[in-house]
Chain A
Amino acid sequence: MTSAVSFKQVSRHFGSVRAVDAVDLDIAPGEFFAMLGPSGSGKTTCLRLIAGFEQPTAGSISIFGERAEGVPPYRRNVNTVFQDYALFPHLNVLDNVAYGLMVKGVGKAERHKAAEEALSLVRLPGYGARRPGQLSGGQRQRVALARALVNQPKVLLLDEPLGALDLKLRENMQEELKSLQKALGITFVFVTHDQGEALSMADRVAVFNDGRIMQIGTPEDIYQRPKTRFVADFVGSSNVLPPDFVQRYSGQHRWGSLRPESIRVGRATSGEGVAARLVSTNYLGATTRLALDADGLKLHAVVPAGTALPVEGEAVVLTFNREHLHLMDEPA
């Protein structure tokens, strides 16, 4: 099967900066794919390489089997929802949405009809006559989405699509984007620095760091079985355990990771386990996050709210199931 987007050893260097460095990537048609990473990790450059705003320094990119190098953005069947939405302030909402059809020479009546349909799709029917300046952030986001979807792209690129929205709106949009993607069957590629967003929305996630992909996998893979210390730490703030510590429990001299929610915290008198001291507690609503110090090793545990807790500074004993201790590929 042809990949929707395929990167073969793609690099994009800006002078001495390796924004994207020898990246291999295959995105399947109809997939909801997330590129996750801290800022400056190369995820946005990858998106811009697919859109055509950047050209690779080395390697080859193909979109549905067609070579993409040297093809300008306006000849790619790929559309982008920009981080700042980039709506055209001098056009009303309907003309904004119809813009792509207008430059392709579609007649006025036909393109306005298609634009109206796209606006209904993003649940903004009847907003066509307004100016972008008269819309709220969430509405602008929907207009940007409609403006991209009206062109029936093969791949839709979303650059931090929910970054500028408040929490409640963000949660709504997450669900909506997901159901929209299912209904349309278009390949979505979205860039985010929010691991929660990536895990909850994507079929597969690529974790970026320093211009390279650290790991690609399903959200569960990435979360439960991180391959490197970076992934363990960045995705869901796992406890990264040094090889010496891990050897005591698994017999193998390798780096390990342990989810904060896998750690049970007991009174110092309750028998065997890792001796530690409770440094601080952080009330998070549904859970409480504990900062612990096990003989110099800093650990975090998350316990459900309502659990009886030791006081700060008290000695505690930590226990966990051996199968929750994940061994990473990264060499010790």
Chain B
Amino acid sequence: MRSDRGQSAPLGLKIAAACGLLFLHLPILLIFVYAFTTEEKSFVWPPPGLTTQWFAVTWNRPDVWEALSLSVRVAAISTAIALVLGTLCAAAVSRTKFFGRETISLLVILPIALPGIITGIALRSAFALADIPFSFWTIVLGHATFCVVVVYNNAVARFRRTSGSMIEASMDLGADGFQTFRHIVLPNIATALLAGGMLAFALSFDEVIVTTFTAGQQQTVPIWMLEELIRPRQRPVTNVVAMVVVLVTLLPILFAYYLTRDGDQIAGSGK
């Protein structure tokens, strides 16, 4: 919504808006500041001194690297699974009419509407029932449940905007199903998939609840952080990692926003 361009908002509104923004973002800035503090046992304001030594300390901690590597691998594979399944599902739902189509559409979106804790408990009991030991793959499965939704939502919106006769035109001109997908469908949904994929990656990267239920002894970055906060040792290391996580997740989301701002809403980004 945009009111008349020439008219400036009243001062009171401006102040209120500024306060709102500060309330949202000041705590995040605080985390950045604490990454440079010299006090390692508790967070004291103002910081007694500033140092960059925690970056070196973080760099040399193997547990940080393990958590980061696990998180990146989980996010990458969940996103890959989501891209394949989400696109196929979106194509089926938007291209053809079949019995139970609306139900499938609802069931696919449901995991993101369900509280993470329900998904987590459900998956955990399902894994226990089927005698599947917790592993890297159980985490990936847990994450894939909500990553699929993000990709699906983006792809379905794009499919709706692409004319169905384009696919028929391609077939008519001699392209079989695979050629049509490669030359016509993929180029038209590529940006939507990229946006959905990056959102999925970001969601997976900072997921806590489902992960606590589906991981065994392994720690993804957010889980590692929670553990770290309990131990009063080298606390600013957590803040350094937090900064990295913010950057790793913020950049793809920003990029995804720019790719799809021409009309597609990035559904499911609110999780």
Contact = CB atoms under 8 A, between A and B. Distances in A.
A184 B183 CA distance: 29
Contacts of B183: 99, 102-103
Interface string A103-133: 1100000000000000000000000000000
B49 to A, nearest CB: 56
A151 B176 CA distance: 15
Interface in B22-65: none
Among all A-B residue pairs, the 8 with the closest Cβ atoms: A100-B173, A86-B169, A86-B165, A103-B175, A73-B171, A90-B187, A80-B172, A82-B165
A15 to B, nearest CB: 11
A74 interface: yes
Contact of A88 (B166, B172, B174): B166
A73 B168 contact: yes
B121 interface: no
Nearest to A97: B173
B171 A72 contact: yes
B163 A86 contact: yes
Contact of B172 (A74, A87, A89, A104): A74
A80 B176 contact: no
A53 B171 CA distance: 9
Tell me what chain B mostly uses at the interface: helix, strand, loop, or mixed: helix
**Among B172, B176, B184, which residue has the most Cβ atoms of chain A within 10 A?**
B172
Nearest to A82: B165
Contacts of A89: 188
Given A88-B169, A100-B173, 13 more contacts: A51-B172, A52-B171, A73-B172, A80-B168, A82-B169, A84-B163, A86-B168, A87-B169, A89-B188, A103-B170, A103-B176, A103-B183, A148-B172
B269 interface: no
B125 interface: no
Interface in B145-184: 163, 165-166, 168-176, 179, 183-184
A151 B174 contact: yes
Contacts of B173: 74, 79, 99-100, 103, 147-148, 151
A148 B183 CA distance: 17
Interface of A: 51-53, 72-74, 78-80, 82-84, 86-90, 99-100, 102-104, 147-148, 151
8 contacts: A51-B168, A51-B172, A53-B168, A74-B176, A79-B172, A80-B169, A83-B165, A100-B173
B112 to A, nearest CB: 30
A80 B168 CA distance: 9
B188 A90 contact: yes
A8 to B, nearest CB: 24
A52 B174 CA distance: 12
Contacts of A88: 166, 169-170, 184
Interface string B183-194: 110011000000
Contacts of B165: 82-84, 86
Nearest to A98: B173
Nearest to B171: A73
A144 B82 CA distance: 36
B163 A74 contact: no
A53 B172 CA distance: 9
A104 to B, nearest CB: 6
A199 to B, nearest CB: 27
A308 to B, nearest CB: 53
A103 B166 contact: no
B193 to A, nearest CB: 14
B174 A104 contact: yes
Contacts of B168: 51, 53, 73, 80, 82, 86
A103 B179 contact: yes
Contacts of B176: 72, 74, 103
A83 B174 CA distance: 19
A153 to B, nearest CB: 9
Contact of B174 (A74, A82, A84, A87): A74
Nearest to B184: A88
Nearest to A159: B165
Interface in B2-26: none
Contacts of B169: 80, 82, 86-88, 147
A137 to B, nearest CB: 15
Contacts of B174: 74, 100, 103-104, 151
A95 to B, nearest CB: 10
**Among B173, B175, B188, which residue has the most Cβ atoms of chain A within 10 A?**
B173
**Among A51, A74, A82, which residue has the most Cβ atoms of chain B within 10 A?**
A74
Contact of A86 (B166, B175, B179): B166
Nearest to A100: B173
Nearest to B182: A103
B166 A74 contact: no
Contacts of A151: 173-174
A88 B175 CA distance: 13
A148 B165 CA distance: 14
